[in-house]
Amino acid sequence: MAFLEFRNVSKVYPPNVRALENVTFSLEKGEFVFVQGATGAGKTTLFRLITREERPTKGEIWFSGRRIDNLDSQLVPFLRQRLGVVFQDLELVPEWTVYEHLVAPLFVLGMNGREALQAAKKMLSLLGLEDKSFFQVRCLSGGEKQKLCVGRALIHRPKLVLADEPTGNLDEVSAMEVLKLLFEFSRREKATVVVATHNRALLGCFPARVIFLEKGRVWEGER
């Protein structure tokens, strides 16, 4: 069985917005995948179905051998603990510091303070944010926020990473840095990393599988 699998998944937002239609695909462990589609194609919706922020109107979603589209809502936190998500709208708390954001997923997993501090330090140097660790997020630039979001998604070393437009707020150089970070993470941890983007220019930069999304339908191409 595949690591992540969509079977004939449709999502209709009320009143009648067809965000996804009959989406079927599967991902294996350790894959690095781009999901490319214009804005409004349904990329964010696809991710929200995996994180259970939304539920599909039709179809089944399987993750790591379990069906998650009808998962009991009590178990949703444990699903989310196994994912690393870079949210399109970042989902940061302006008053929290960079450090607090990084350790949040670790504390949620029950890690103790000293270990969490070590992990956060490592991640901060990886992101190039060492000198910002005790800045409140509202004092960061857009690009720094974006990087922080990536760091928070990776710090607990999840086996599935969903990055929704992780380069949206970044200049070209930083964008490549972030993508490299995600790519290397995928290799190092044997984790599946899915990057959603509207930018076709990014696709050629990494040896990756590409899933195209157009008006809620998928088709595949390989490069």
Partner 1 sequence: MGRISRYILRKPALFFMGALSTFLVLFLINTISLGYLEFSKLREHWRERFMVRAFFREDVSEETMHKVAKEIAASFYITQVVLVPPEEAKKRFLERTGLSPESVEGVSFPASLEVVPKYIENLLDIVRELKENPSFGEVLYGGQEVENFLRLFQLFVRFSRGFFLGVLGFGVCVIVVITAFSVQLRRREVAVLSLVGATDGFAFSPFFLEGILFGLCGGIGAYLCAAFFLFPLLRLAEEVFPGFFGVQIEEHLLWLFVLDLLGGCGMGMVGTLFGYLGVRQSIR
Ligand X SMILES: Nc1ncnc2c1ncn2[C@@H]1O[C@H](COP(=O)(O)OP(=O)(O)O)[C@@H](O)[C@H]1O
Of positions 2, 71, 104, 203, contacts partner 1 by CB under 8 A: 104
User: How many residues contact partner 1, by CB under 8 A?
Assistant: 27
For residues 27 and 34, the answer to whether their CB atoms sit within 8 Å is no
Token pair 């179809």 is found at 59
Instruction: Pick one of ligand X, Mg ion, partner 1, none as the site partner of residue 57 (Cβ within 5 to 8 A by kind).
Output: none
Q: Does 79 interact with partner 1 (rule: CB under 8 A)?
A: yes
**26 strand-pairing partners:** 5
Considering CB under 5 A, how many residues would be counted as binding Mg ion? 3
> Residue 161: which residues within 8 A CB-CB, separation 6 or more?
83, 84, 85, 86, 153, 154, 182, 185, 186, 191, 192, 193, 194
Closest approach of ligand X to the CB of residue 217, in Å: 12
- Give the integer Cα–Cα distance in Å for 19 and 13: 7
**11 phi/psi in degrees, rounded to 5:** -135, 120
Task: Draw the binding track, 11-30, toward ligand X (x: CB under 6 A; -: no contact).
Answer: --x---x-x-----------
| Residue 54 within binding range of partner 1, rule CB under 8 A | yes
The structure tokens listed for 12 are 């209709």
Interface residue with ligand X, options 36, 44, 167, 169 (CB under 6 A) = 44
Residues 52-91 touching Mg ion, rule: CB under 5 A, are: 88
Write out the residues near partner 1 by the rule CB under 8 A: 48, 51, 53-54, 77-83, 85, 87, 91-96, 100, 104-105, 107-109, 113, 152
